[in-house]
Amino acid sequence: MTSLSSQERTVIQTLLELNYSVRVIARFIKRSPSTVSIETRPESVKARQTFGHFEVDTMQSGKRRGDVLVTITERLSRQHIVRQVTGRNSQAVTPVLIRFFQGIKNAKSITVDRGREFAKYNEIEQKLGIPVYFA
Protein backbone atom coordinates (compact mmCIF):
# COMPACT_ATOMS: atom_id res chain seq x y z
CA MET A 1 0.00 0.00 0.00
CA THR A 2 1.31 3.44 -0.91
CA SER A 3 1.15 6.03 1.85
CA LEU A 4 -1.15 9.00 1.42
CA SER A 5 0.06 12.58 1.41
CA SER A 6 -1.24 15.09 3.92
CA GLN A 7 -3.12 16.79 1.07
CA GLU A 8 -4.85 13.51 0.18
CA ARG A 9 -5.80 13.00 3.81
CA THR A 10 -7.28 16.50 3.92
CA VAL A 11 -9.30 15.83 0.75
CA ILE A 12 -10.55 12.53 2.19
CA GLN A 13 -11.62 14.21 5.43
CA THR A 14 -13.36 17.05 3.61
CA LEU A 15 -15.24 14.75 1.24
CA LEU A 16 -16.27 12.45 4.09
CA GLU A 17 -17.72 15.45 5.92
CA LEU A 18 -19.68 16.22 2.74
CA ASN A 19 -21.05 12.64 2.83
CA TYR A 20 -19.29 11.32 -0.27
CA SER A 21 -18.81 7.56 -0.40
CA VAL A 22 -15.42 5.87 -0.07
CA ARG A 23 -15.60 4.77 -3.74
CA VAL A 24 -16.29 8.29 -5.00
CA ILE A 25 -13.46 9.69 -2.86
CA ALA A 26 -11.09 6.98 -4.13
CA ARG A 27 -11.94 7.80 -7.72
CA PHE A 28 -11.46 11.51 -7.07
CA ILE A 29 -7.97 11.13 -5.57
CA LYS A 30 -7.07 8.27 -7.95
CA ARG A 31 -6.50 5.72 -5.22
CA SER A 32 -7.91 2.32 -4.43
CA PRO A 33 -11.17 2.25 -2.42
CA SER A 34 -9.42 -0.09 0.04
CA THR A 35 -6.73 2.54 0.67
CA VAL A 36 -9.36 5.15 1.45
CA SER A 37 -11.30 2.66 3.58
CA ILE A 38 -8.22 1.78 5.64
CA GLU A 39 -7.47 5.47 6.10
CA THR A 40 -10.95 6.14 7.50
CA ARG A 41 -11.02 3.26 9.99
CA PRO A 42 -11.32 4.42 13.61
CA GLU A 43 -8.10 2.58 14.57
CA SER A 44 -6.18 4.42 11.81
CA VAL A 45 -7.49 7.77 12.98
CA LYS A 46 -6.69 6.90 16.61
CA ALA A 47 -3.16 5.75 15.71
CA ARG A 48 -2.45 9.08 14.02
CA GLN A 49 -3.66 10.92 17.09
CA THR A 50 -1.63 8.88 19.57
CA PHE A 51 1.64 8.17 17.74
CA GLY A 52 3.94 11.17 18.00
CA HIS A 53 7.55 10.51 17.02
CA PHE A 54 8.80 13.16 14.61
CA GLU A 55 11.79 13.57 12.32
CA VAL A 56 12.94 17.04 11.36
CA ASP A 57 15.14 17.77 8.37
CA THR A 58 16.19 21.12 6.95
CA MET A 59 17.53 22.50 3.71
CA GLN A 60 18.05 25.90 2.16
CA SER A 61 14.80 27.02 0.55
CA GLY A 62 16.45 28.97 -2.27
CA LYS A 63 14.02 31.89 -1.91
CA ARG A 64 16.34 34.23 -0.03
CA ARG A 65 19.74 33.77 1.46
CA GLY A 66 19.36 32.32 4.93
CA ASP A 67 15.84 30.96 4.44
CA VAL A 68 15.54 27.44 5.76
CA LEU A 69 12.87 24.94 4.80
CA VAL A 70 11.98 22.69 7.71
CA THR A 71 10.36 19.37 6.85
CA ILE A 72 8.68 17.61 9.75
CA THR A 73 7.82 13.97 9.17
CA GLU A 74 5.64 12.04 11.58
CA ARG A 75 6.50 8.33 11.59
CA LEU A 76 3.34 6.27 11.53
CA SER A 77 3.56 2.58 10.65
CA ARG A 78 5.73 3.17 7.60
CA GLN A 79 3.57 6.10 6.45
CA HIS A 80 4.78 9.68 6.43
CA ILE A 81 2.75 12.76 7.11
CA VAL A 82 4.96 15.60 5.91
CA ARG A 83 4.55 19.15 7.14
CA GLN A 84 6.72 22.01 5.91
CA VAL A 85 7.59 25.15 7.81
CA THR A 86 9.80 27.96 6.55
CA GLY A 87 12.13 29.72 8.97
CA ARG A 88 13.73 33.07 8.16
CA ASN A 89 17.21 31.72 8.72
CA SER A 90 18.96 28.89 10.48
CA GLN A 91 18.81 30.73 13.82
CA ALA A 92 15.03 31.05 13.46
CA VAL A 93 14.48 27.29 13.24
CA THR A 94 14.44 26.68 17.01
CA PRO A 95 11.51 29.05 17.77
CA VAL A 96 9.63 27.74 14.72
CA LEU A 97 10.01 24.15 15.95
CA ILE A 98 8.98 25.10 19.49
CA ARG A 99 5.82 26.84 18.21
CA PHE A 100 5.01 23.90 15.95
CA PHE A 101 5.42 21.24 18.63
CA GLN A 102 3.51 23.24 21.25
CA GLY A 103 0.47 22.55 19.09
CA ILE A 104 1.13 18.79 19.03
CA LYS A 105 -0.40 17.09 22.06
CA ASN A 106 1.12 13.64 21.77
CA ALA A 107 4.68 14.35 20.61
CA LYS A 108 7.00 11.86 22.31
CA SER A 109 10.34 12.48 20.60
CA ILE A 110 12.01 14.52 17.89
CA THR A 111 14.86 13.27 15.70
CA VAL A 112 16.77 15.96 13.83
CA ASP A 113 19.55 16.00 11.27
CA ARG A 114 23.00 17.28 12.21
CA GLY A 115 22.58 20.79 10.82
CA ARG A 116 23.83 23.80 12.77
CA GLU A 117 20.23 25.02 12.97
CA PHE A 118 19.70 22.44 15.73
CA ALA A 119 22.57 23.69 17.90
CA LYS A 120 19.99 24.86 20.45
CA TYR A 121 18.36 21.42 20.71
CA ASN A 122 18.62 21.63 24.51
CA GLU A 123 16.32 24.69 24.43
CA ILE A 124 13.75 22.63 22.48
CA GLU A 125 13.99 19.79 25.02
CA GLN A 126 13.72 22.18 27.95
CA LYS A 127 10.75 24.21 26.68
CA LEU A 128 8.76 21.25 25.35
CA GLY A 129 9.81 18.47 27.70
CA ILE A 130 10.36 16.23 24.66
CA PRO A 131 13.67 14.41 24.05
CA VAL A 132 15.57 15.42 20.91
CA TYR A 133 17.69 12.79 19.14
CA PHE A 134 20.16 13.18 16.30
CA ALA A 135 20.12 10.96 13.21
Nearest Cα to Cα of residue 28 among 13, 42, 41:
13
Report pLDDT for 108. Answer: 80
User: 119 or 88: whose pLDDT is higher?
Assistant: 119
Structure confidence by residue, pLDDT tens digits, 76-92: 544 566 777 776 666 67
Judged by average pLDDT, the poorest of 19-23, 51-55, 94-98 is: 51-55
Query: Confidence band (pLDDT; 50, 70, 90) for 1?
Result: very low
Q: Residue 8: how many CB atoms within 10 A of its CB? A: 19
Say how far apart CA 113 and CA 117 lie, in whole Å: 9
User: 102 or 42: whose pLDDT is higher?
Assistant: 102
User: 134 or 49: whose pLDDT is higher?
Assistant: 134
Q: Say if residue 127's pLDDT is above 80.
A: yes
Query: What percentage of the chain exceeds 70 in pLDDT?
Result: 68
Q: Residue 105: what are its φ and ψ, rounded to 5°? A: -70, -40
Report pLDDT for 53. Answer: 67
DSSP annotation of 92 reads G
Structure confidence by residue, pLDDT tens digits, 96-113: 888 888 877 777 888 887
